[in-house]
A = this chain, B = another copy of it.
Amino acid sequence: MARTGRPRAFDRDAALHTAMLVFWERGYATTSTTDLSAAMGINPPSLYAAFKNKEHLFREAVGLYERTEADASRRAMDEAPTARKAVAALLHESVDRFTTEGKPRGCMIVLAATNCTEDHASVRDFALRCRARTKTTIKARLDAAADAGDLDADTDTDRIAAFYTTFLNGLSLQARDGADRTQLHDLVDMAMFVWNAPNGPLVDSEA
């Protein structure tokens, strides 16, 4: 049914996409609603009518980010034939996403709300939950591989997921700080070497 009343004069999806880019680039706390409405090409009342407030807009922007950017990495992981290739695909795909021309560098979820203070506690906790999902997603892929016999049944998938999540977060910061795309891919190759010793306490070859 067609809604009554004056129709919206701007494209809500396009505006949300713009807001996502601004938050991604500048972070939650350091982006003002004035910046946002200016970038989105609308006036404050339109912003608030369409997105309720700054926090809701941010949550929607993160949702869009997950449905587009983050989900592409997850898909690359799911489509890979083996657990090892899945993790490598996730990391390499992420590197490409972190260094795409015309988009902010690094991961929005990692960078946009790291130092949210107590007065934005709900935003901070929201971002925390989003970040926690990264490890969960990797672990789920590894568990599926273990079920399929692609990994030893006694593999500590949580440990591996934690390692690559940590490394992935580091890649975000390196990308934001201007690291070269090819160098980041090379670092991913290095990180994949850990795969060769996924289980048990590692032996210090020197000690």
Contacts and interface: CB of A to CB of B under 8 A. Distances in A.
A141 to B, nearest CB: 16
A202 B206 contact: no
Nearest to A88: B204
A103 to B, nearest CB: 15
Interface string A134-177: 00000000000000000000000001001101111111011011
Interface of A: 26-27, 29-31, 82, 84-85, 88, 110-112, 114-117, 128, 131-132, 159, 162-163, 165-171, 173-174, 176-179, 183, 186-187, 189-197, 201-202, 204-207
A114 B173 contact: yes
B173 A169 contact: yes
15 contacts: A27-B29, A27-B115, A31-B117, A110-B173, A115-B115, A162-B174, A162-B179, A165-B174, A166-B173, A167-B167, A167-B170, A169-B170, A186-B201, A189-B201, A196-B205
Contacts of A170: 165-171, 173
A193 B202 contact: yes
Most chain B CB within 10 A, of A84, A131, A177, A178, is at: A177
Chain A: interface secondary structure? Answer: helix
Contacts of A30: 29-30, 115-117
A115 to B, nearest CB: 3
